[in-house]
Structure 1
Amino acid sequence: MDDQKFDHEFPEQHTVNLPQCLVRKIFQNIKEGIMITNAKGEIIEVNAAFEFVTGYNREDVIGKNPKLLQSGIHDRAFYQTMWTSIHTTGSWQGEIWNKRKTNEIYPEWLHILKVVDESNEHTYNCAIFTDLSERKTVEHELEKRKLTDSLTDVSNRFAFLKRLEALLETSTTLENMYHAVYFIDLDRFKHLNETLGHSNGDILLTEIAKRLRTCLRNKDIVARYGADEFILAITNLQNLDDATFFAQKMTELIEEPIYIQDHEIFVTANIGISLYPSQGVTAEDLVHRAEKAMDFAKRQTTEKIMLYFDELNIDSSRVLLLDAEIRKAIEQKAFDVYYQPKVDTKTEETLGFEALARWNNEVLGFVSPGEFIPYAEETGLIVPISEVILEKVFEDSKRLAELGLPRLPIAVNISSLHFQHPNFLESIKGMLGRAQTDASFFEIEVTERTVMNNANETVEKFNELRELGFTLSIDDFGTGYSSLSYLVRFPLDTLKIDRSFIQQICHQQEKQAVVDAIIHMSHRLNMRVVAEGVEQQDQVQLLRTLDCDEIQGFYYSKPLPFDEAVRFMQTSLQNK
């Protein structure tokens, strides 16, 4: 605030000469440190906050030059800029590092004002400062938390990529040296987590991180990359043998038994390796290729350590072939539809089917849905694949009537990408029209995550589908983030409990309690409940007791081609 504004806000006729005792009281009790120097640069006064922050008593500094506080961190140019500002503008402010009496270096926010008395004969400098040590500590802790995995105390994914990029920037001139990135995935961790409990699972992860740390030297980096994934960068390796040596060392450390409470736990891992600079010059490239190598290792029965440049060239070729063959299959409508029965829990009567895509390719052989469906979703090819499947389902439903069989409802699982496609509803209407069939014979299934992604849009589409005559189902319930109470917003007919809850329902009280709650709440919302993945007699008996409506799973039947599904249905009708 300049002098002109000060005079404007407080005209002379309203100014008050403050008593010296009041000025002294304010001076001594203000929380900021204050130091006043004269024209010779000598300290002539300090307040109590100055003494508290710097550790110097008033008697220690009166008559001394403020240079005694200098930390030595700032160069001469820093102070020249400061004093130039004070002489030309009358003030300077900024962050500065000073030194306490104990020689401890600390940060402060400093504001220096040039003050001239009323006679314009005496000049003073008034330094007002705030100790930033605590704030810096908090900022450092927050920065550390941002870069550190809170459970294992190693770096997180973001920090790993950042540190690896910095490392690579300084490695461009290395000759005949390698950096290796190791992507580690723990086997069966999900099973161990469910068996031991999450708190013991956390102990296991912490122990693995601690062991991996023992592999590090100098600039090496370790991070937790995902739930059960770790990633390391080992620097300055002489040759490929060094890279595999470290991988073997990691494997041995991971496979040593871990003792948690009264349990002796054995863990194994798959490790993928990529090398700088031969397999990538950026952090993202190296991590991606190490992860690809790890994925390939997971598919092997013996080899658990895989270098990227070996088998993954074949894997890349398969991806290219997969893409080409999927596009041909879409054009030729070469996907098959299998049908898995849904059975009444109490009467064991067949109530309907779920349609499932299958693909037997003349070049690739039988391609698992676990391979081609995720790839199709990633590339957007899932939309035309879904349309091929829907057309075949509509035709197969009509064939039931032609065979003199009841047209039991057939459920079709719609991917999130297809459901959210702008032309989804128009496409469905067009296919119904071309097939000359009625929507009431079909059920649209979408996953819980699809429902929750855009609730308002989902409600609108559901209402239009209901008007067309479709029944509606939510699939894989329990794997997303919704709640039963929230689902009341949606006009659903059926809820399918995810198989992960059913598999352990007879052995884990928590899973049984969750399933029981889902069934009762669904019934109160007028929804039928289907249990997926039922494989055992005791699961059937328990679900019967819990009043589950329908069962789907290998206990009654695997997915069947159309002709076999017809025979299953005929047998069910004969036994009715």
Structure 2
Amino acid sequence: MGKKISNSRDEQQLIDKQNERKNLKLKYNGKENLRFMAEYDYLTELPNRRNFENVLDELIILGEAEIHENTIVLMFIDLDRFKFFNDSLGHNAGDKVLKIVADRINNVVGSENLVARYSGDEFVVLFKGVTDRENINKVAERIQQKLTEPIRLLNNEYSVSASIGISIFPEHTNHIDELVLRADQAMYSAKKKGKNRVEFFNVEIANEIDRKAKIEQNLKKAIDNNELYLEYQPIVNVYNKKIVGFEALLRWKSEKLGSISPGEFIPIAEESDLIFKIGEWVFLEVCEHLSTWSKKGVPSFYISLNMSIKQFEQHNLVPKLEQHIKDFGVNVDLIKIEITESTAMKNSEEILSKLNELNNLGIEIFLDDFGTGFSSLSYFEKLPVSLIKIDKSFIKDITQHKKRAAITRAIVAMTKSLKIKVLAEGVEEIEQYQYLCSIGCHIMQGYYFCKPVPFNYVEAFFHSTK
């Protein structure tokens, strides 16, 4: 629990201390310079995080905000894509941006409110006695508008955007030291919704954070509790009417939370680094299943499995996978790795190197969800991709939308020219199947053929189709 506000009304002590800080800012010699360095950010000359947190402590001690009489508003401002300036233009350019941003925020907010550089590209603003939510929102929007004004760097003009989270005392918390946390959470919600937004803390954000925490907590125990399992969806060559492979799909049925969608728990696994342990578990499970099917004489087919971009951060990723394949005695040709367009877009030397190592090992690389990102032909020039999977969003309305049909036809024609295989995923209706056949797409996957099935159904499925 946070600290509750004191009932003291001694505001003068707080004002005196704030004035002392303002005076201190003007002095740059001897011991006073050391004090300035301790309490102010040298780059922007704004109060630093320590200074800001001292002000919050003083509000707690002095009772500056009483629950029934005063309101305190905190804005948490985070610059969007600030890393671009440091990485592309250099740290000097990044520093210049931060100084300009600090000045612009200060000019909008005014001297009667506290602006501080919290860390890196994060700023906080503390307002006292503001009660009108609409006015608060207008101030936040003015900050955003001011920040988008052009900044000239290295003879070019750039603009900055910011995501802003807002928390209000006592509306959102009765503990003033929780204001920062609530505003920070609202800011992340703004980023999640597309960035360059203003978001007030609300119950929905609190519930989302609570659920996310519960999922992470239970996901840590999921492997040990045998709650994770794989299902397999057939991949069909419609020309010869044969199953050529299966996609391994991760599932989780939590004892406490019930069935959780991969779309919900995978991003949390990536954020918390649990993806490393889970990703290895999936690979081991696939190897074990392939080995079991082989020993039982099930006809040979490949398994494709998804790999998170986070997994490519492991320096020993390829040797570890190679060792697992050897341990199970699995034919390496039967394992395919699926990467998303977002992974391909990273195009880093580290990722490219690992993909080439996997390809040299004999593991083919599939490009998943093609068409959902900024698709580029450069993928096929640089990456060792042997098959692309047309995203189901194109297939869904392919018979109703001429543009989607034309794009799909163009993708199929392009892959043939590049001698790359193409697969349509999410095929659910006979009309979709017929159209894809007519344009020469002969590898498909979707509910039209079969829903994902458990491991032990795969063998039975083959026997039933003999």
Question: Structure 2-normalised TM-score?
Answer: 0.62
**Residue 491 (structure 1) aligned to one of 384, 393, 403:** 384
Cα distance change, pair 562–550 in 1 and its aligned pair in 2 (3 A): same
Cα distance change, pair 323–539 in 1 and its aligned pair in 2 (3 A): same
Q: Which runs of 5+ in 1 are unaligned?
A: 1-157, 181-214, 241-273, 297-305
Superposed counterparts of 1:481-520, under 5 Å? 481-484=374-377, 486-520=379-413
1:178, 1:277 → 2: CA distance?
A: 17
**Residue 365 (structure 2) aligned to one of 472, 478, 492:** 472
Cα distance change, pair 328–506 in 1 and its aligned pair in 2 (3 A): same
Cα distance change, pair 311–279 in 1 and its aligned pair in 2 (3 A): farther
Look up the equivalent residue of 2:215 and give its one-letter code.
L
Look up the equivalent residue of 1:535 and give its one-letter code.
E
Look up the equivalent residue of 2:432 and give its one-letter code.
Q
Residues 6-52 of structure 1: CA deviation (Å, up to 9, x unaligned): xxxxxxxxxxxxxxxxxxxxxxxxxxxxxxxxxxxxxxxxxxxxxxx
Residue 286 of structure 1 is matched in structure 2 by 183
Residue 337 of structure 2 is matched in structure 1 by 444
Residue 247 of structure 2 is matched in structure 1 by 354
Q: What is the Cα deviation at residue 404 of structure 1?
A: 2.2
Residue 408 of structure 1 is matched in structure 2 by 301
Residue 166 of structure 1 is matched in structure 2 by 109
The answer to whether the Cα contact below 8 Å between 1:164 and 1:233 also exists between their aligned partners in 2 is no
**Residue 321 (structure 2) aligned to one of 420, 428, 442:** 428
Look up the equivalent residue of 1:360 and give its one-letter code.
K
The answer to whether the Cα contact below 8 Å between 2:340 and 2:368 also exists between their aligned partners in 1 is yes
Cα distance change, pair 358–330 in 1 and its aligned pair in 2 (3 A): same
Cα distance change, pair 500–314 in 1 and its aligned pair in 2 (3 A): closer
Q: What is the Cα deviation at residue 347 of structure 1?
A: 3.9
Q: How high is the sequence identity, in percent, across the aligned residues?
A: 31
The answer to whether the Cα contact below 8 Å between 1:502 and 1:531 also exists between their aligned partners in 2 is yes
Q: What is the Cα deviation at residue 408 of structure 1?
A: 0.8
What's the RMSD between the two structures over aligned residues? 4.0
Q: What is the Cα deviation at residue 445 of structure 1?
A: 1.1
1:394, 1:164 → 2: CA distance?
A: 61
Residues 209-266 of structure 1: CA deviation (Å, up to 9, x unaligned): xxxxxx66995443699xxxx989999x9996xxxxxxxxxxxxxxxxxxxxxxxxxx
The answer to whether the Cα contact below 8 Å between 1:341 and 1:552 also exists between their aligned partners in 2 is yes
Indicate the SS of the match to 2:422: strand
2:415, 2:450 → 1: CA distance?
A: 25
Q: What is the Cα deviation at residue 543 of structure 1?
A: 0.7
Q: What is the Cα deviation at residue 324 of structure 1?
A: 2.3
The answer to whether the Cα contact below 8 Å between 1:484 and 1:522 also exists between their aligned partners in 2 is no
Residue 122 of structure 1 is matched in structure 2 by none
Residue 449 of structure 2 is matched in structure 1 by 556
Indicate the SS of the match to 1:422: coil
Look up the equivalent residue of 2:260 and give its one-letter code.
V
2:165, 2:311 → 1: CA distance?
A: 40
Residues 269-292 of structure 1: CA deviation (Å, up to 9, x unaligned): xxxxx689969645x952632765
Residue 233 of structure 2 is matched in structure 1 by 340
1:275, 1:353 → 2: CA distance?
A: 50
The answer to whether the Cα contact below 8 Å between 1:343 and 1:550 also exists between their aligned partners in 2 is yes
Q: What is the Cα deviation at residue 416 of structure 1?
A: 0.8
The answer to whether the Cα contact below 8 Å between 2:306 and 2:338 also exists between their aligned partners in 1 is yes
1:308, 1:217 → 2: CA distance?
A: 13
Cα distance change, pair 276–485 in 1 and its aligned pair in 2 (3 A): same
Look up the equivalent residue of 2:452 and give its one-letter code.
P
**Structure (1 or 2) with the larger CA radius of gyration:** 1
1:493, 1:485 → 2: CA distance?
A: 14
Q: What is the Cα deviation at residue 388 of structure 1?
A: 0.3
Q: Which moved more, 1:352-361 or 1:396-405?
A: 396-405
Indicate the SS of the match to 2:339: strand
Q: What is the Cα deviation at residue 536 of structure 1?
A: 1.7
Q: Which moved more, 1:316-325 or 1:417-426?
A: 316-325
Indicate the SS of the match to 1:535: coil
1:518, 1:323 → 2: CA distance?
A: 39
Q: What is the Cα deviation at residue 173 of structure 1?
A: 7.0
Residue 419 of structure 1 is matched in structure 2 by 312
2:169, 2:309 → 1: CA distance?
A: 48
1:476, 1:292 → 2: CA distance?
A: 25
Cα distance change, pair 172–447 in 1 and its aligned pair in 2 (3 A): closer
Q: What is the Cα deviation at residue 394 of structure 1?
A: 0.7
Residue 531 of structure 1 is matched in structure 2 by 424
The answer to whether the Cα contact below 8 Å between 1:178 and 1:276 also exists between their aligned partners in 2 is no
**Residue 214 (structure 2) aligned to one of 307, 317, 321:** 321
Q: What is the Cα deviation at residue 311 of structure 1?
A: 5.9
Superposed counterparts of 1:24-423, under 5 Å? 162=105, 166=109, 169=114, 174-175=128-129, 177-178=130-131, 180=133, 220-222=139-141, 281=179, 285-286=182-183, 288-289=185-186, 292=189, 308=201, 310=203, 313-332=206-225, 334-423=227-316
Q: What is the Cα deviation at residue 328 of structure 1?
A: 1.4
The answer to whether the Cα contact below 8 Å between 2:276 and 2:311 also exists between their aligned partners in 1 is yes
Indicate the SS of the match to 1:330: coil
Residue 460 of structure 1 is matched in structure 2 by 353
The answer to whether the Cα contact below 8 Å between 1:438 and 1:469 also exists between their aligned partners in 2 is no
Indicate the SS of the match to 2:367: strand
Number of residue equivalences? 335
Indicate the SS of the match to 2:413: helix
